[in-house]
Amino acid sequence: MQESSTTLNRSLGFWSALALVVGTVIGSGIFFKQSSVLDSAGSTGGALLAWFLGGVITLTAGLTIAEVGAQMPHTGGLYVYMEEIYGNFWGFLSGWMQIAVYGPAIIASIAAYLGILLVGFFHLDAVWQAPLAIFVIILIGLLNMVENRWGAAFQIVTTLGKLLPIIAIVIFGLFYGDQDAFGQTLQTVHHSTGNFGVAVLATLFAYDGWILVANLGGEIKNPQKLLPQAIILGISLVLIAYTLVSYGILHFVPAEKIHTLGQQTTVYFAQSAFGTIGGRLLNIGIIVSMVGCLNGKIMTFPRIVYAMADRQQLPFSKYLSYLNRKSHEPMIATTAIIAYASIMILFFNPDRLSDLCIFTVYCFYVATFVGVFLLRHRHPTTVRPFSTPGFPITPLIAILGALFVIISEIGSDFTGVVLSLVIVAAGIPVYYYKQHHRTTD
């Protein structure tokens, strides 16, 4: 179905890669998680420290993955890393987990919430939530079926757009707030079941998504150099943005008020700072932020489908590995992801499905972090395009951070952990079937 000479375009530069890192991380979490992090931390100082530590842990993860990614600058990201380090079986399971539930469910959950925002913003009936969500992901999918430079350009524009409300919150909070951003204790929930660890866990989820740029390793110019730069600088920028936004809000809104407002804290901040119009402007900023986040995910997840199909590891691999001869884009893989996400929007609770896979995602994260040690042991004399600074401390911190997420998930949602393992295990018969029938697809 596809000409052998048709390959992915290696045309993405540094700014496109950087925009993908920042854009796929910053969605709506920073705007809506202020209250939950504060409630768990119990104090404003604890909340700020949680956001900062979550960023530091994520940065160590990025520094670690950057060494692996620079050695394997291929399309597929985490899937390719697991395959190269641990073999085809574990590589397949990491890819299966991402395309069977995790990727489509994340796209569906973001799109579904975007549909809610659009209905509220335009004062439409609630019946339009799902159709609007599906319409948006179809439009973004169509954009990503033309040459990748258009999707990358859109990512840059939306990333710049989402920075505007962040800058506004930071500046106004810093210069016009009069609250103690470090010393307020939240008496209302001081003795609740929440704790500092739970607060850090919430921020780690808000930082997740940076690794998706690695799925485009086969399309980034000079990936051995640019991929590590984009990951490290991107995570650093998000860390600074998250910490400053949190400080700005905590400096302007009293802690008890944040606890009472919950997810409406940032909207209250905007209305108080800029009047009624501020709330609507913030909504526009969040909508742009979520559209950019969706674009990054719709741009990257089909690459995993393509990479697995190109290795004849999926049913209908001949079709899923098809690249358009003009745009060099995986059109059928993109269509499949959009269709799957649309079904989830209509019939399932995508938030729950994506939550189920957090556990397994971090299991594969840990395995990849350990892979840095394995690669150095196996190839001690190989020249590495990028070496993790602070080795071995940096990858050890990344491993401990991921283990913290895994253990926390087991303790808080054991049923979900079991279900997530079942979802991954469902890929095992698919793997062995394809192993024995590769020539028949």
Break the chain into its structural domains and give their ranges. 14-440
CA distance 430 to 209: 26
Count the alpha carbons within 13 Å of 184 in the hemisphere toward its beta carbon. 24
CA distance 279 to 118: 14
Q: Is residue 398 packed enough to be buried (19+ CB in 10 Å), middle (13-18) or exposed (0-12)?
A: buried
Long-range residue pairs from 381-384, CB within 8 A, at least 24 positions apart, any chain: 382/71, 384/67, 384/70, 384/71
Strand partners, 185: 43
Residue that the structure tokens 């800029």 belong to: 274
Contact 245, 148 (CB under 8 A): no
Phi, psi of 12 (to 5 degrees): -85, 130
**Close Cβ partners of 245 (under 8 Å, ≥ 6 residues apart):** 30, 166, 169, 170, 173
> pLDDT tens, position by position, for the chain (441 residues)?
444 456 666 767 888 888 888 988 887 778 778 888 988 888 889 999 999 999 999 999 999 999 998 888 887 889 999 999 999 999 999 999 999 888 898 899 889 888 888 888 888 998 999 999 999 999 999 988 887 777 778 888 888 888 888 888 899 888 887 787 777 776 654 444 457 888 888 888 889 888 888 877 777 888 888 889 999 999 999 999 999 999 999 999 888 888 888 877 877 888 888 887 877 887 788 888 889 889 889 988 999 999 899 888 998 888 998 887 787 788 999 999 999 999 999 988 776 777 777 888 899 999 999 999 999 999 888 888 899 999 999 999 999 999 998 998 888 888 888 988 998 999 999 999 888 776 554
Count the alpha carbons within 13 Å of 125 in the hemisphere toward its beta carbon. 1
Residue 336 is predicted with a pLDDT of: 95
238: closest CA among 313, 159, 348? 159
DSSP-derived secondary structure for 167-223:
HHHHHHHHHH--S-TTT-B-GGGTTSS--HHHHHHHHHHHHTTGGGGGGBTTTBSSH
Residue 371 is predicted with a pLDDT of: 95
Q: Does the domain spanning 14-440 belong to CATH 1.20.1740.10?
A: yes
Phi, psi of 161 (to 5 degrees): -65, -40
pTM exceeds cut of 0.95: no
Terminal Cα-to-Cα distance of the chain (whole angstroms): 12
Residue 7 is predicted with a pLDDT of: 67
Q: Is residue 1 packed enough to be buried (19+ CB in 10 Å), middle (13-18) or exposed (0-12)?
A: exposed
Residue 195 is predicted with a pLDDT of: 77
Phi, psi of 181 (to 5 degrees): -75, -10
CA distances from 165 to 159, 278, 401 (A): 11, 10, 30
Q: Where are the alpha helices (DSSP H) in 223-330?
A: 223-252, 255-261, 265-274, 276-310, 317-320
282: closest CA among 138, 168, 359? 168
